[in-house]
Structure 1
């Protein structure tokens, strides 16, 4: 496949290094490749050594926003968007799939992602589970399922319960666990659980160590019970003997409801022994759907021995599904959850786990459902490929990069002659000859490097004149100020419905409910004339300018900074406070 890569002065060195001999490179006299217009491309190509060649693909910057239809006709070759960054050219050229609307780096990633999800879909259709909880397959060859807990559910309002159920399901929870405090009364447990069960799109479990609370959950349609030890089993046995338990031929609870069986934590016997005894007793009682939980200890409290228990139990009982309490680690470790959840999911997979459990509790653990869901999918793809979990098409890289972009290189910029062009308008730069002059549109040579920037100005704390009392200078905007914040889209939708006369089925509300960001949060910029809502700071600033809501240049700079901070907070699920440090 014959390919021509078109670039500008700034990226020339990086492009040539990345392309090597896999394509021709046309360098045009424009600093930034993304600003190469169709007319500049036509002119540059026509005057280059490549003008007599026909190419299968001509690649322009992935950042380009121009329509190159006219240029395609003029040069006789199709023009596509290349990658956004030069470093990605070597990967793009090794998998030559191009688009005129999507940058090739994103196209390749999107294709790999689509292929990954197609593989997962096909795998799900052929898996062989041990049993089902509702429609959710458990154990066997099925993917590890995510069980997300709503903690202290009795303390939440219906609105809060609805929000958490909706959020957890949208984040990827396969089942939702409803946890109650020991002092919650039966009536409250019954009311709360029945409400969650009525609104949940996925199976629901009752989570309690109190037998009466467990019975309330079962009576209100619990699909799963957490958890059963010898004490709870004895209480079941007593009810069965008095025929006071709802289990019958017409409603075989022990066949419908799944039970998580745990060891006796305060027994003198080791955990695995009591766990296997409790499973045997549960089976004799008639429980058909049993999930074992050897109990994952928190970090600093015998975590490694507890992991060994998981592995040993699976080796001894390979057909029994296992619950792995990943939240026991992430909630009690002051470290970012994403890396821990990825590693915990891999260890759980090796230990034969079928269910990954995490609570929706502490702020630092929020996002764990989404992280564990992705990790569980990565484990399936890794097992299918019989490889390490990398280059799968999906990943959990949030702050780290597989391929870093090049740092700013002043030497290269100076040697390219770009400094001579930076102060010129586009029409002036056409006739300007940097360095030793433009010999052709193909490349630029300079025997004498251009001078670097004429002055060096230190700013902020780098300035020798800086004092702690120094404030960033700005003028009050006569058009008014903005309050900026982030919040879940569903809460914003409720606000507009209640206070601004919107309806559930109005297009604006449907747009908010379709938001796809971590925790479905959006950025809100409140002005006296309008409320600007979005997830992209650049587009939000564009909307503010388009609505003519600012009059001061310094105000635009301030808004750009704050909106970008808010966008980063949304992307990473962090908190945001206007004017505060990020």
Structure 2
């Protein structure tokens, strides 16, 4: 396939370097590639050495807004949007498929979207054919099944039914495959039974009980839990004494996580104790057993505990393993994203079937989603026999695979680029009328403006250092706070599941209203949105620019300084939403 890449003067070096010998490159005398009009493309092509060549496709800047249909007719090949940045050209050209590329969507976005769609489809197909060792509810675990995510609601007895339901909705939206209810030692059996019964009636995925008390475990079993965390020799002895209470039908339905005796006075190793307890659990009739060698916290023999996981899997490869990733992330003051990714990889090598994490602690929020994505990445890597890289899904939150170019000061020239960058598309068309194909005067004028001609020397922009960069800077009274006659705003960030009950109560909406359904479809981390509350209305969104436009359209603002302030606060809130960070109005981000 023969491809021609078209670019402007400013990006020419970067484009030539990125393309190499993968395609031909036509450099036109327009500074900014995005502003190359169809007529400029045709004029440059006619005057170039590429005029006699036949191409399968032409790529223009991914930022271009022009219609190239007339140019396509003359060049006799389709013209597609390439990537937005030169750094992505190599990847685009190596994977180029003209049947899937677009004249309206940049190639870099298409490739990423296509990779993600392919990965999600592959995961969906795999899930339909998973063969687990057994099932917890309707969720296969062990065997060749993807590592499942078990998310714990801590101290469930301290929460109301509505709070528990809200957490369940949140955890499922984050990717939890199963919900674990953790109970404090002093929670009474009636409370445990009531909570488990309510959750089982509401929750569409398997439910487990996490307790060290046999009476609580029994109450959970009687109320329908699918999984029990965790049983050691002491709990097993209680089961033995109460064997008549649990018929075989119950024991066959429920799965048990078996752990070693952590505080035994014997000289048994953790693995020896774990295998002994597994054997005892089998004897009293349980068939669906999961082993948890116990992951030690950082600074407390973490490596040795990982070795226990690996050694156990080598000794009993058919027994599913629970891996308590939260034991590390909760006790390590470091961002959880990278840790959860690496822990999932280690767990996968150790044969883990379930990744366990609590939904507790502010710094650990997001771990469910992170572990779910990491488990999917490990499965995709295994299917493709590759490292968890370039899969279409990733856990890159703040860091980038390919850095975008820094600001190029050459853009600030008298070429017209500066004035046109912020014009609407239709005005760009009107601003640059197509030049007659025999008139190449635009080439000389634009070329001069970039090469440092006399035009630039006649134009000088003053430099003004602002704020901390200028020791003599004094804030003016126009920016000082004053009340806006149109009213002021309270701005915050919150999960949609906390916002929806308030809206139903205060705005007359119901669960089936279009607005509520739209809110439920939000895909931000933690399903959080921005709420800007004005005395006349509540604005909810995830895009600060659109929210600001709504404010202006509704006439909710009249002070210029207030508009600047509001735009800044909404932008801070948007960044907080998409990074999963907290936000407080008027506070530093």
User: Do the structures match in fold with TM over 0.5?
Assistant: yes
Paired with 2:152 and 2:529, the residues of 1 have a C-alpha distance of: 24
Q: Structure 2 vs 1, CA of residues 66 and 217 (structure 1 numbering), >3 Å: closer, same or farther?
A: farther
SS in structure 2 of the partner of residue 418 of structure 1: coil
Q: Which moved more, 1:447-456 or 1:222-231?
A: 447-456
The alignment status of 1:515 with 2:522, answered yes or no, reads yes
Q: How does 1:40-79 map to 2 (within 5 A)?
A: 55-69=55-69, 72=72, 76-79=76-79
- Deviations along 1:157-211, one digit per CA (max 9) or x if unpaired, are 1221111101111111111101111101111111111111111111000111111
The alignment status of 1:577 with 2:573, answered yes or no, reads no
The alignment status of 1:473 with 2:479, answered yes or no, reads yes
Q: How does 1:371-390 map to 2 (within 5 A)?
A: 371-390=370-389
Paired with 1:465 and 1:488, the residues of 2 have a C-alpha distance of: 43
Question: Post-superposition shift, 1:485?
Answer: 1.4
Partner of 1:276: 275
Q: Structure 2 vs 1, CA of residues 557 and 164 (structure 1 numbering), >3 Å: closer, same or farther?
A: same
Q: How does 1:25-424 map to 2 (within 5 A)?
A: 25-26=25-26, 32-36=32-36, 55-69=55-69, 72=72, 76-97=76-97, 98-240=101-243, 243=244, 245-248=245-248, 252-267=249-264, 268=266, 269-410=268-409, 413=410, 418-419=413-414, 421=416
Q: Which moved more, 1:21-30 or 1:439-448?
A: 439-448
Partner of 1:525: 532
User: In the alignment, is the contact (CA less than 8 A) between 1:5 and 1:58 conserved in 2?
Assistant: yes
Paired with 1:481 and 1:26, the residues of 2 have a C-alpha distance of: 53
The alignment status of 1:560 with 2:567, answered yes or no, reads yes
Question: Post-superposition shift, 1:239?
Answer: 1.0
Question: Post-superposition shift, 1:17?
Answer: 2.9
Partner of 1:438: 443
User: In the alignment, is the contact (CA less than 8 A) between 2:31 and 2:446 conserved in 1?
Assistant: no
SS in structure 2 of the partner of residue 122 of structure 1: helix
Q: Structure 2 vs 1, CA of residues 556 and 40 (structure 1 numbering), >3 Å: closer, same or farther?
A: farther
Partner of 1:501: 508
Paired with 2:566 and 2:10, the residues of 1 have a C-alpha distance of: 29
Paired with 1:380 and 1:272, the residues of 2 have a C-alpha distance of: 27
Partner of 2:438: none
Q: Structure 2 vs 1, CA of residues 96 and 307 (structure 1 numbering), >3 Å: closer, same or farther?
A: same
Unaligned 5+ runs, structure 2:
421-427, 436-440
- Deviations along 1:280-313, one digit per CA (max 9) or x if unpaired, are 0000111100000000010111111111111111
SS in structure 1 of the partner of residue 532 of structure 2: strand
Question: Post-superposition shift, 1:220?
Answer: 0.9
- Deviations along 1:28-52, one digit per CA (max 9) or x if unpaired, are 5665444555666567667777667
Q: Structure 2 vs 1, CA of residues 472 and 334 (structure 1 numbering), >3 Å: closer, same or farther?
A: farther
SS in structure 1 of the partner of residue 370 of structure 2: helix
Paired with 1:345 and 1:518, the residues of 2 have a C-alpha distance of: 19
Question: Post-superposition shift, 1:20?
Answer: 3.5
Paired with 1:483 and 1:56, the residues of 2 have a C-alpha distance of: 55
Question: Post-superposition shift, 1:212?
Answer: 0.8
Question: Post-superposition shift, 1:385?
Answer: 2.5
User: In the alignment, is the contact (CA less than 8 A) between 2:169 and 2:497 conserved in 1?
Assistant: no
User: In the alignment, is the contact (CA less than 8 A) between 1:265 and 1:271 conserved in 2?
Assistant: yes
Partner of 1:537: 544
Partner of 1:19: 19
Paired with 2:70 and 2:533, the residues of 1 have a C-alpha distance of: 43
Paired with 1:59 and 1:429, the residues of 2 have a C-alpha distance of: 21
Q: Which moved more, 1:41-50 or 1:21-30?
A: 41-50
Question: Post-superposition shift, 1:314?
Answer: 1.0
| TM-score normalised to structure 1 length | 0.89
SS in structure 2 of the partner of residue 438 of structure 1: helix
Q: Which moved more, 1:69-78 or 1:476-485?
A: 69-78
Which of 430, 450, 460 is residue 467 of structure 2 equivalent to?
460
Q: Structure 2 vs 1, CA of residues 383 and 441 (structure 1 numbering), >3 Å: closer, same or farther?
A: same
Q: Structure 2 vs 1, CA of residues 68 and 154 (structure 1 numbering), >3 Å: closer, same or farther?
A: farther
Q: Structure 2 vs 1, CA of residues 387 and 49 (structure 1 numbering), >3 Å: closer, same or farther?
A: closer
User: In the alignment, is the contact (CA less than 8 A) between 2:156 and 2:164 conserved in 1?
Assistant: yes
Aligned length: 568
- Deviations along 1:84-107, one digit per CA (max 9) or x if unpaired, are 222111211222231123221111
User: In the alignment, is the contact (CA less than 8 A) between 2:35 and 2:64 conserved in 1?
Assistant: yes
Q: Which moved more, 1:44-53 or 1:568-577?
A: 44-53
- Deviations along 1:18-70, one digit per CA (max 9) or x if unpaired, are 23443444555665444555666567667777667664333333234455556
Question: Post-superposition shift, 1:528?
Answer: 3.0
Paired with 2:520 and 2:359, the residues of 1 have a C-alpha distance of: 21
Question: Post-superposition shift, 1:232?
Answer: 0.4
- Deviations along 1:375-427, one digit per CA (max 9) or x if unpaired, are 111111222222222122221111111111122243xx17xx83554666778
SS in structure 1 of the partner of residue 298 of structure 2: coil
Question: Post-superposition shift, 1:465?
Answer: 1.6
Paired with 1:96 and 1:556, the residues of 2 have a C-alpha distance of: 44
SS in structure 1 of the partner of residue 451 of structure 2: coil
Unaligned 5+ runs, structure 1:
none
Q: Structure 2 vs 1, CA of residues 405 and 139 (structure 1 numbering), >3 Å: closer, same or farther?
A: same
SS in structure 2 of the partner of residue 519 of structure 1: helix
Paired with 1:520 and 1:344, the residues of 2 have a C-alpha distance of: 24
User: In the alignment, is the contact (CA less than 8 A) between 2:415 and 2:446 conserved in 1?
Assistant: no
User: In the alignment, is the contact (CA less than 8 A) between 2:4 and 2:55 conserved in 1?
Assistant: yes
